[in-house]
Each structure stands twice: as structure tokens, then as C-alpha cells.
Amino acid sequence: MKLEQYQIDQHNDSLLSKHNNQYIFIKEQLGEQGINANEIVKALEAFQVAIPSWALGTGGTRFGRFSGGGEPRSLEEKVEDVGLLHALNHSSGSISLHIPWDIPEQAQSIIALASSLNLQFDAVNSNTFQDQKNQEHSYKFGSLSHVDAAVRKQAVAHNIEVIKYGKDLGSKALSIWLSDGSCFPGQSNFVKSFQYTLESLQEIYAALPDDWKVYVEYKAYEPNFYSTVIQDWGSSLLFCQKLGPKADVLVDLGHHLPNANIEQIVATLMMEGRLAGFHFNDSKYGDDDLTVGSIRPYMLFLIFVELVEGMKRAGRASDTYAWMIDASHNVKDPLEDLLQSVEAILLAYAQALMVDRKKLEFARSQNDVVLAQQILQNAFRTDVRPLVRESMRLSGGALDPIGLFRNLGVRSELMNERGKVTVATGL
């Protein structure tokens, strides 16, 4: 299924006068505070969030999986799904592949399909947290950190193979999330695990093309419950520093211990120029993989306050970082969920762009805690939805992406095309 521009235009026409009133209202409101609404809209238009190939089907838990019907059955259908999202919001212009769940057997035809939908290929993701069919060695006790050199070699070779697939598609980065660790005290030697991992990563790093990056993701726990080799941003940064300038730290919002101050981590990584980008999601307890902004929108906003500050300080545009959604759960239509997630990201970004930095620095210099809090909360409590809608409209997307998705009956159309019982590859 493909959306036609006239369908989006018709939808926008029906909402346009109401939208224009709302946009003019906020534009004036912001103008009184010396903020240029059009500039924020421009920044929103430029912000693209990659969609991972594993988020297009209903995610499961270790207890069960409830597929929703019409899920993509092949890589081609996954690319088509991201094409639908991008047509609706014009903010999801790339897809991030997971190998081996989504191996591009014929790169040229996949590239042609993606280009026809205005999509590019984002970072490729390796997988050494599962055993695959016919795999010689098991990853039950680790991969890049394994005590047996033969297992490490196999895991390194897999990552190098993933780079090859990515090169064929025009990707420019490899994302590595390592589940290696231990479940019980005494099971592994922390120092040896670190050193084996470093040696393995060095081999992968050496295989990176010149214009590539490797993103090193950390996670506090799960699936290992006592220790994780790359457990936090400090370990990740240490690996990156030892590897070299092509390695940067990838922050996944669900990979921290409860109540971690993620915005401070972001500020520190940006200060060091080592932030690769983000895996967005939301959670209440751990790596819950919930819709971005659904539980803790204020935290998301505070993170964007640091991101905006850090980008400005480094003189880097938003498209020089890797932004991706990493979520996959049980109860929503995955495409509607992704539309909500992208909207939440853009809302937080818009609010962060509104923060009066000069005033905030002044408040800080005076130790005016009340004013500092007020400046942030004024931005957070402003309804910036008309700005996000305007950015989508101007770039050719829909004023109300989920509304249009529902009005057009996209899911039932997909179920007609693909069947009611389809299960996408993934978790």
C-alpha cells in the first residue's frame, strides 16, 4: 500500500482553517517572548528519526506475543511500512536494519524501493544476543567477551558481515549492543571480559570503512542480571576512547538504572564530543520499550534541552547525530505507536528550542533557582502542537498523521494485502 499526495492534501485542506488559527495564535504568543516560530518549524522539518525494522511488528515479551495482523512479512514490506510513516509525517526518512532478522538479499532492489519512498538506510545493527540456525558456536555465555577465542572470532566475523550489508545499502554506521555479561557472582572475570571485548571491538573497528562510525550502546542489566560488560555510559565511553574517533556512545533511554539523570549523561557526552545519538523509547521500570514520551515527557524535554545546547555549542546540525526509535511492545498498532513516538520527539525538541538560554544562564549565575525552574517549565507547559503540525504540513505530511492513518483504514488495507495472521521477524 502506498499513500498518494492528494490523499494527504485533501486531509490537510479539511483541517487547514482550524490549524491556521492555532498556528497564528502560538506564533503571536511566541513573538511576544522574542521567539521566532518559523525558525522552530524549520528546525523541526529538518529533524529526521530513523525507524528500526523490528518495530514494525507487534513486540512480544518473554510471556507471549500477540500479533496484530497485517504485519510486514518481508524486508520489502517493512520498507513499505516506513514509507507509509514517512508519507504521513515526513519525519521518518530512514530505516535501520537488524541483521540477521532483515538481511537484504538484493541490495539494489531494496535501495530502489527505499528511494521511491524517499527513504535512506540508517545504522545497521548486529545481533550476537541470539543463536542463529546452523551457527557453529553458541552465544549462551557471551559473544565478543566470550572466554573461548573461537566464539569471539565468530562474533567479530558476524559484525564485519553486517558492515558489508550496510555498505551495500549506503549505511554509514554499525550499532553494537552487546548483551554479554553474567547472571551470577563469580561467573565472569570483569577485567578479562572487558579486555576480550576491547580486542573484539578493535578488530571490528579496523574493518570499518573510512567514512563509517561504530556506535557502542550500553545497558545496565538484562538479559544478564548480575553484570553487563558494557553496563553504563562510562564503560561505553571508555571503549570508545580506546577504539578511536570513529567510535561514539549510543544512549538508549531504556538502558539505565531507575531514576538515572540521563540529561546529565547527555550533557557530559556532548561536552566530550562522543555522543553518537539516541535510541528513543519510554519506560516506567526498566527497558519497557514504551511509546516515547508516554510516561515521562518532562524527562524527554530535559534531555532535549541538553541536546539543543550541546548541538549549538558544537556547531553541529541535528542531522549529524543518529536519532532512532527503539521500542517494540505488545498492545498498540505498531505504526500508530511509531507516529506517536515521532510526534513526542518533535514536541520535546520544539519545547527545548523555545527555552530562553540567556535568561536561564542569568538565573543560574544569580542562583535564582525559582526562575531557572520557571524558564524550563514555561517552555514545557506551552502547547507546541501547532508548530509540529505546521512543520509536517510544510514538508508535505499530514496535519494529523494518526487521524489520517485511521480515516484511510491503512491497517485494514494492510490486513487485506498481507493477511490477518502475519508475524514480522524480530523479538
* Residue with Cβ nearer Mn ion (125 or 391): 125
Q: Which three cell numbers stand for residue 314?
A: 558544537
Cα separation of 86 and 412, whole Å?
Answer: 19
Is the Cβ of residue 282 or residue 326 nearer to Mn ion in the bound state?
A: 326
Q: Find the shortest distance in angstroms from Cβ 192 to Mn ion.
A: 26
Q: Which residue, 219 or 411, has its beta carbon nearer to Mn ion? A: 219
DSSP track, 144-179: TT-SSHHHHHHHHHHHHHHHHHHHHHT--EEEEE--
Return all residues near 70 (Cβ < 8 A) that are at least 6 apart: 411, 412, 413, 414, 415, 416, 417, 418, 419, 420, 422
- How does DSSP classify residue 423? -
Rounded Cα–Cα distance for residues 47 and 382 (Å)? 20
Q: Which is nearer to Mn ion, 174 or 399 (CB)?
A: 174
Q: Cell 480515516 maps to which residue?
A: 407
Which residues ranging from 175 to 234 are in contact with Mn ion (CB under 5 A)?
none
Which residue number, 80 or 326, has a Cβ lying nearer to Mn ion?
326
Which residues, listed in sequence order, are joined to residue 242 by a DSSP beta bridge? none
Work out how close the CB of 257 gets to Mn ion at its nearest, in angstroms, rounded to a whole number: 16
Instruction: Give kind and range of the element (H or E) at residue 357.
Output: helix 357-365
Q: How far is CA 414 from CA 1, 2, 52, 205, in A?
A: 7, 10, 19, 41
**Which residues, at least 6 apart from 212, have a Cβ–Cβ distance to it below 8 Å?**
163, 166, 172, 173, 174, 246
279 binds Mn ion (CB under 5 A): yes
Contacting range for Mn ion; rule: CB under 5 A; set: 54-62, 161-169, 267-275, 323-331: 323-331
Confirm or reject binding of residue 326 to Mn ion (CB under 5 A): yes
Residue 282 touching Mn ion (CB under 5 A): no
Distance CA 376, CA 234 (A): 28
Instruction: Please choose, from the candidates 199, 273, 194, the residue with its C-alpha nearest in 3D space to the C-alpha of residue 235.
Output: 194
Q: Can you tell me the distance from the alpha carbon of 183 to that of 300, in angstroms, rounded to the nearest whole number? A: 31
- Closest CB to Mn ion among 176 and 354? 176
CB of 251 to Mn ion, least distance (A): 9
* Of residues 50 and 399, the one with the C-beta less far from Mn ion: 50
Closest CB to Mn ion among residues 279, 389: 279
Q: CA 359, CA 299: separation in Å to the nearest integer?
A: 21
CB of 177 to Mn ion, least distance (A): 6
Distance in Å, CB of 34 to Mn ion, minimum: 38
Minimum CB distance to Mn ion, residue 319 (Å): 20
Window contacting Mn ion (CB under 5 A); options: 46-54, 151-159, 161-169, 279-287: 279-287
Strand ranges, E, within 239-384: 247-252, 275-280, 322-325
Segment 159 to 178, residues that bind Mn ion, using CB under 5 A: none
Q: Which of 95, 96, 99 is nearest to 117 (CA)?
A: 95
Report how many residues bind Mn ion under the rule CB under 5 A. Answer: 3
Contacts of Mn ion in 233-252 (CB under 5 A): 252
Q: How is residue 356 written as a grid cell?
A: 530562553
Q: Which stretch binds Mn ion (CB under 5 A): 144-152, 201-209, 277-285, 406-414?
A: 277-285
User: At closest approach, how far in Å is the CB of 175 from Mn ion?
Assistant: 8
Piece of the chain touching Mn ion by CB under 5 A; list 63-71, 95-103, 325-333, 381-389: 325-333
CB nearer to Mn ion: pick between 166 and 397: 166
Map the footprint of Mn ion across residues 132-161, applying CB under 5 A. none
Least distance between Mn ion and beta carbon 366 (Å): 40
Kindly state the smallest distance separating residue 247's Cβ from Mn ion, in Å. Answer: 16
C-alpha 345/C-alpha 12 separation (Å) is 22
Q: How far is the CB of 243 from Mn ion (least distance, A)?
A: 19
Contact set with Mn ion (CB under 5 A): 252, 279, 326
